Each structure stands twice: as structure tokens, then as C-alpha cells.
Amino acid sequence: MRIFLAHWLILLAAWTLVIKFVFPLVFDAAYGHAAGTHVYWDFWWVIHLWLAYALYTRPGYLWWLAIVVSVVEIGIIGVKFYFFFQQPDWTLWQTNWFVNKVFVLSCFIVLLGYCWLQRDRFAFLATQSRDTTET
């Protein structure tokens, strides 16, 4: 499950880069808009890649990183959905954003549940990590 979640985070990061940077830049070029007019400046993809890397390498701080990022992401997306649904705007850009957020929210709900249910295993990894750095 840990490796599956790491792969999911990598796919989310790639998807985010495409729909928030590449697609808008191509759209702007195709329709004669100033470059970057439709780019959605978002750097959560960096944190997603860091978390994916941590899921692969299992550092001692993995559990805390996964819990904190999951709770923050779920909270932010929840607030954004609350405001979005006050006056939904189903343009191309907002629909892209919405679909991306549904998948990101799903990923972090699953990750939070997994980390919470496996907290004893993560505590063992943290202890093991400390033991190897002390020798």
C-alpha cells in the first residue's frame, strides 16, 4: 500500500504539472494570450514528490510528514470546495481544477487512513531510523 500511495502521489504531481502549467501555456500560445495568463501557480506538487520519496525511503519522520500533509491538504481542499460550491463555475479551468482536487482529496484521505491504521509500524520505522543514526 505504501508503494501504491507513492506512485499515486507521483501521478498526481505529474497531472498537476500538466493541467496547471503545460496545458495553460499551450492554450495561451494557441489562442494568442500572454504566456502564463491561465497558469495556476501551485507548488504543492513539490511536496507531493517529497512525500512520495519519503514513502519509498521510509525516513523516521515519514509518519508525521504524511499525517501533517494529509490533514493540511484535506483541510485546504475542504475549504476550497465549500467556497466553490457557493457559486460553482464549470468552465474548462474550474472543471480541471475540481477534478484534480477530487483525486488529490481521495489520495490524502486514503493516506491519512493508512498512516493512522499503521501507526505502530511507522513508530517502529522511526525507532529503527534513530537506532541507525546513533551507531
In angstroms, the Cα distances linking 45 to 4, 29, 30, 61, 131 are 17, 24, 25, 19, 32
Instruction: For the chain, give every domain's residue range.
Output: 2-134
pLDDT in tens, 4-22: 999 999 999 999 999 889 9
Residue with cell 498537476: 16
- Quote the CA–CA distance of 108 and 23 in Å, as a whole number: 24
pLDDT at 55: 96
Using the predicted structure, report yes or no on whether residue 25 has a pLDDT greater than 80: yes
Rounded to 5 degrees, what angle do the CA atoms 8, 58, 73 make? Answer: 45
pLDDT in tens, 73-83: 999 999 999 99
**pTM reported for the whole predicted model:** 0.84
Residue 68 DSSP symbol = H
Please count the other Cβ atoms lying within 10 Å of the Cβ belonging to residue 29: 10
pLDDT in tens, 61-103: 999 999 999 999 999 999 999 999 999 999 988 998 899 999 9
